[in-house]
Amino acid sequence: MSGYLETWSHHPVGLLHVGLAMLALLTGPLLFLRRKGTRAHRVLGYGYVVAMVIANVAALARYGLTGGFNLFHAAALASLATLIPASYCAWRARVEASRGMRVAHGIFMSWTYFGLAIAFVAEFVTRRMPQLLHGDGAWIRFSVFLLLTMLLAGWMTQRLINLRILKRGSEPPSSQ
């Protein structure tokens, strides 16, 4: 497995994937915390979407771990399954000035960031705490840890949606 991790992190596609995922990881909070609908929000948002699309395509292009489609490819497809409708809803909200599309955009984008954060936690744990992956029951420990992390992050994501999107979704976006 360590050979795979080294190959992944030193391969140009792997470096592209990691670099763009980190860019998206850093950009996400700026998008969540800043005023919505501004030019800055749109520019940061386009950057986030492009970084995420390329990072996901890069993930789909690598098969070194198992030699075929695996859980990481499914996660990349799930990420795209939230990113594409999020982008579509943003476009529709702008064209139609639709509150429903603004809310849907915010919800989908929140879940794209949830997936990105969970991927970061899983990657961090496997690289920085490899002892979790050794010994009897290693994958069970790791799976339980990741499940608990996902539950906590999912609860936090839903709370963010309730407080910052559904509650404020009726506000018109800034005209800047």
3-state secondary structure labels for all residues of the chain: CHHHHHHHHHCHHHHHHHHHHHHHHHHHHHHHHCCCCCHHHHHHHHHHHHHHHHHHHHHHCCCCCCCCCCHHHHHHHHHHHHHHHHHHHHHHHHHHCCHHHHHHHHHHHHHHHHHHHHHHHHHHHHHHCHHHHCCCCHHHHHHHHHHHHHHHHHHHHHHHHHHHHHCCCCCCCCCC
Confidence band for 171, pLDDT divided at 50, 70 and 90: low
11-25 per-position pLDDT tens digit:
888 889 889 999 999
Whether residue 166 is predicted with pLDDT greater than 90 in this model: the reply is: no
Q: Both tokens of residue 149?
A: 């992390």
For residue 29, CA distances in Å to 41, 98, 176 come to: 11, 24, 20
pLDDT at res. 55: 94
Lowest pLDDT segment from 35-44, 53-62, 68-77: 68-77
Instruction: Please answer whether residues 116 and 82 qualify as being in contact, where contact means their C-beta atoms are separated by less than 8 angstroms.
Output: no
Whether residue 45 is predicted with pLDDT greater than 80 in this model: the reply is: yes
pLDDT at res. 36: 86
Q: Estimate to the nearest angstrom the gap between the alpha carbon of 147 and the chain centroid.
A: 16
Whether residue 30 is predicted with pLDDT greater than 80 in this model: the reply is: yes
Q: Both tokens of residue 71?
A: 């859980």
What is residue 39's three-state secondary structure?
A: helix
Confidence band for 121, pLDDT divided at 50, 70 and 90: confident
Q: Both tokens of residue 28?
A: 């996400």
Whether residue 1 is predicted with pLDDT greater than 50 in this model: the reply is: no
pLDDT at res. 14: 82
pLDDT at res. 9: 65
Confidence band for 68, pLDDT divided at 50, 70 and 90: confident
User: Residue 170 and residue 174: Cα distance in Å, rounded?
Assistant: 12
Mean model confidence pLDDT for the chain:
83
